[in-house]
Structures are given as C-alpha cells and as structure tokens.
Chain A
Amino acid sequence: DVKVTQSSRYLVKRTGEKVFLECVQDMDHENMFWYRQDPGLGLRLIYFSYDVKMKEKGDIPEGYSVSREKKERFSLILESASTNQTSMYLCASSPGPYNEQFFGPGTRLTVL
C-alpha cells in the first residue's frame, strides 16, 4: 500500500514566521506535488518535482518554495507566513506524469 505522510495534521503559526511542511512517500515515486485546497477553489498546484533536486512551479508558487534533497521527501516552505496562506495543504506522489496521484492526509495551517 502506498503511504504518503505529512509532518503535521494541524499547525498554527504567526504572521511572518517561517513554516516548513514535510511530506514523505514510501513507494519510490518519481513525482511529488504540493497543493493547497480552499473552499470553492478546489485543489491548486503550488509546486511539483519530478526528480531529486528538480522543481517546477505550479499555478500559485508565489510566497512558497520547495526542497527535494531525497527522492522520498518533498518539503514546502513558507518563507514569511501571511494570513492569506491559511489553508489545507496536501502533498501527493505518483510514479509518473499520467498516473494517479496518492495523497497524504493534509496539513491544516492557520496563520494568525
């Protein structure tokens, strides 16, 4: 069974803090993704990576950065958190670009 884990289920941070969200997958998948999900807007792609140390911007990369130093781990970084980054963050992985994605349980981030 594919397992994607995320470091926290719930996180509360203050405006201006640096925030790290970590994602780990155990199926040796090439591709990993970070999304945010907001009511009425659906899933929006922030960044994705198709190989170690490779990253590509998604639809809404502003205010975020990512790191993929190891194949199994993909980190999302909010350099200076803002209230409009309050959201559900979902990590996913897949073996290839045309395959289904497997999601982690999500991190609900609140920025005060």
Chain B
Amino acid sequence: RKEVEQDPGPFNVPEGATVAFNCTYSNSASQSFFWYRQDCRKEPKLLMSVYSSGNEDGRFTAQLNRASQYISLLIRDSKLSDSATYLCVVTQTGANNLFFGTGTRLTVIP
C-alpha cells in the first residue's frame, strides 16, 4: 500500500468554481502535512502546511482528519492561474524524508 494516495484527476473546472482534493495516508504516525503545487515542467513548491485545526490562506483551505487519516485542500473562486498539479505530502516520526503523493492535476477552464 502506498504511503500517500491521491486521485490523479484530471479535474477540469470552470473559472470561479470551488474544487476540493482529498488525500489519504497510511501511517497513523504521520506527523507533518503539506500541500505542494507543481506547474508543468517546473519544480514543486510549497503551497501551504496543514495544521490540526485546519488553516486558510486566501482562497485556499486545508483540513486534516487524523481519525480517518486524510487531508484535504479546498480552492474557492478558481482562477486560470490555479491550473497545476497539487501534491499531498506527509512526514512520519522516525523517518528523515517526506512522502509525496503522485499528485492531482487541476485545469481551470475560461
């Protein structure tokens, strides 16, 4: 079983729509959680960390559900510039590296 699983998509949504991605992780000892964004042919960049209480950054909201072992990303009022691949990332106690999901591809359509 993969450490982190995501629906690969693609998600094609119109401008202004709200879209949500979920990601599940297998190890209950996972400690830190992130969402990264990767544009085509570019490197991944941190979008936001995910905190236990949930957190918001402008149009983006991240949630963590430890009991069900999933994290989510909600994007409101989608913009064309939101088109990218979104990577779910977790760490685990005792591990010295991050575990990346394979990413969910989002295309926002005019």
- A interface, CB within 8 angstroms of B: 31, 33, 40-43, 45, 48, 50, 56, 58, 90, 94, 97-106
Contacts and interface: CB of A to CB of B under 8 A. Distances in A.
A55 to B, nearest CB: 11
B44 A31 contact: no
Contact of B43 (A41, A42, A48, A103): A103
A106 B97 contact: no
Given A41-B102, A42-B103, A97-B91, A104 B43 contact: yes
Given A40-B102, A98-B91, A45 B97 contact: yes
B34 A43 contact: no
Contacts, number: 44
B80 interface: no
A43 B85 CA distance: 12
Interface residues of B, number: 20
Contact of A48 (B46, B97, B102): B97
B42 interface: yes
Interface string B22-34: 0000000001101
B86 interface: no
Given A97-B91, A98-B31, A43 B46 contact: no
A100 B100 contact: no
8 contacts: A31-B96, A42-B101, A42-B102, A56-B96, A97-B91, A100-B34, A101-B98, A103-B45
Nearest to A41: B102
Interface in B44-80: 44-46, 49
Nearest to A90: B43
